[in-house]
Structure 1
Amino acid sequence: MTRFKILGPLELESRGGEALRRGPKVARLLGLLLVRANQTVGVDTLMDELWDGEPPTTALKTIRTHVYHLRGALERSCGADTARRVLLTRGSGYRMDLAPEELDLFAFQQLVGQAQVLWTEHRHDEVVDRAEQALSLWRGPVLSDVRPGRVLAGHVARLTETYTRVRELRVDSALRLGLHREVLPELRDLVSVYPLHEGFHARLIDALSRSGRRGEALSAFRAARDTLHDQLGLEPSEELCRLQHAILTGAAGTRSVHGGSVG
């Protein structure tokens, strides 16, 4: 069984058990082929990735050499037959041809899609389950041991945004289920990692209030207000101010939970 992993450090699991040895350029090439798995990546895109739009005159020859070394590394790690099957030359480009079970990204995308559908059906306990399964596939930042060029960096940023939005979807579903206390640790982490995301601040304030921790909720509001003012020169949004007013007047929380769209 061959399985590539990109949701964290770049890894290859195979029966051979030998680590996939590669240089930095080969790793970058492989990373791009994997995030674009089952699609042909043209040499122009590979040149843009490897040389940031300023390829040398020997770029095409160098790419072919990198592919040659990549094939050799794959043969040593998972066998010649598998290497020939998964790394294909297509016209003027290359393609990693992988089955659903051979790349962790495929499993992640499938689970995210299921969670989105379940959200629209208001099946929030199942949304939490699928989101947790999807998030469990992450071992750290995407391709954390590969230094990306500008093409790969764009794909990494998109996947990272999807990861964040899946966390948001899980939290929103848990809040719909009334699990306000249970999501507080995750909300505190999200606010710490994304201090300018007003939606995460609002969720934390509301969850604290609904958990009977009004003082902490007001402290969270003040922290959000100070962060926005100090870093952006902005005042809190209408939603944050409405939450503060509801807490001060003893009114029930009025925040409506949104979510479900994950790119």
Structure 2
Amino acid sequence: MVSEVPAGSDSPGGTAESAVTFTLLGPLEVLKDGVDYAPTAPKILQLMAMLLMRPGKVVQIDSIIQELWANKPPRSVRTTMQTYVYQVRRCIEQNKLAADPEAMLATKPPGYVFRIDPAQVDVFEFQQLCRRGRDELEARRFADAARSFRGALGLWSGPALANVNCGSVLAAYAVDLAEQRRAAQHLRIEAEIEAGMHRELVGELRSLVTANPLDEGLHGQLMRVLGRSGRRSDAMATYRQLRTRLTTELGVEPCDELQLLHHELLSAGDPS
């Protein structure tokens, strides 16, 4: 659906766009000097989200049509889409987001490419911080890893693409971003547990398991911090409550890891 655009002399000239940043981890925003210049028309915003999803890469026309109209494109779909592209370029020009709007949003068969540095999009920074956090976890630098994951999660201001009417392509992308956020949260808590922040995490994890009553990973983390905080009975009660929900609602037992942790708590062993 996308193809790489080789770096070279056809990159947009000037530095007008260097101060512009784009957010997808929450509402889509186009920020310059603290002011949001994102278009307000739903289809134009949807098109911009498609382009920002693949900065520096060609987004194919067929993919855009699928996103904007699904299986019911208008009769003049190509002309309508070209009008939307023109509106995005007009937004760039009117708000001085780039020296050359047609270079920033370039026509590149078989589609269009938004020629910006991926680092201008908050998703890039989020993923970069998550990679750093994983490397730090692997190196057992737990405090550093927790700091990196906190920084990554701090970039979020709500559900991904919160102000965009998502079609099938963007909806799938938003789900993927939500899963990345969930994984970062899990790893951040893991890093903080290993850094010795047991009692500090109890309240947060209780809140999280209340909001996610069938999430075995969160329940396991809560059981561990309770056990390490000297609250073995509370940890076992957490397991019993989860097991009741799983068997009643899904007809399954807790995963092997949780059963092993429960056995260790019953045996008064070290729950780590």
State the SS of the aligned residue for 1:140.
coil
Alignment of 1:57 onto 2:75: yes
Tell me, yes or no, if the aligned pair for 1:22 and 1:73 is still in contact at 8 Å: no
What are structure 1's unaligned runs of at least 5 residues? 255-263
More displaced 10-residue stretch of structure 1: 185-194 or 24-33: 185-194
TM-score by length of 1: 0.89
Which residue, out of 194, 216, 238, partners 1:220? 238
Closer/same/farther in 2, CA of residues 80 and 131 from structure 1, 3 Å limit: closer
Closer/same/farther in 2, CA of residues 229 and 16 from structure 1, 3 Å limit: closer
Residue of structure 2 in register with 1:90 after alignment: 108
Shift of 1:48: 0.8
Q: Which runs of 4+ in 1 moved over 3 A?
A: 15-19, 82-85
Shift of 1:242: 2.5
Task: Please list the CA deviations of residues 53-103 of structure 1 after superposition, one character each: whole Å capped at 9, or x if unmatched.
Answer: 332332111111111111112222334526344322211311122224421
Residue of structure 1 in register with 2:167 after alignment: 149
Counterparts of 2:34 and 2:200, CA distance in 1: 43
Residue of structure 1 in register with 2:5 after alignment: none
Alignment of 1:127 onto 2:127: no
Size of the aligned set, in residue pairs, is 254
Counterparts of 2:75 and 2:132, CA distance in 1: 46
Alignment of 1:19 onto 2:37: yes
Counterparts of 1:124 and 1:82, CA distance in 2: 45
Residue of structure 2 in register with 1:163 after alignment: 181
Closer/same/farther in 2, CA of residues 33 and 192 from structure 1, 3 Å limit: farther
Tell me, yes or no, if the aligned pair for 1:22 and 1:70 is still in contact at 8 Å: no
Shift of 1:7: 0.7
Shift of 1:224: 1.0
Counterparts of 1:97 and 1:111, CA distance in 2: 23
Tell me, yes or no, if the aligned pair for 1:115 and 1:131 is still in contact at 8 Å: yes
Residue of structure 1 in register with 2:88 after alignment: 70
List aligned pairs for 1:237-252, cutoff 5 A.
Answer: 237-252=255-270
State the SS of the aligned residue for 2:113.
strand
Counterparts of 1:48 and 1:136, CA distance in 2: 32
More displaced 10-residue stretch of structure 1: 41-50 or 238-247: 238-247
Task: Please list the CA deviations of residues 217-263 of structure 1 after superposition, one character each: whole Å capped at 9, or x if unmatched.
Answer: 12211221122123312122232222223223322215xxxxxxxxx
Shift of 1:150: 0.4
Closer/same/farther in 2, CA of residues 32 and 230 from structure 1, 3 Å limit: farther
TM-score by length of 2: 0.86
More displaced 10-residue stretch of structure 1: 190-199 or 88-97: 190-199
Tell me, yes or no, if the aligned pair for 1:20 and 1:74 is still in contact at 8 Å: no
State the SS of the aligned residue for 2:200.
coil
Residue of structure 1 in register with 2:22 after alignment: 4
List aligned pairs for 1:173-184, cutoff 5 A.
Answer: 173-184=191-202
Alignment of 1:235 onto 2:261: no
Counterparts of 2:234 and 2:36, CA distance in 1: 52
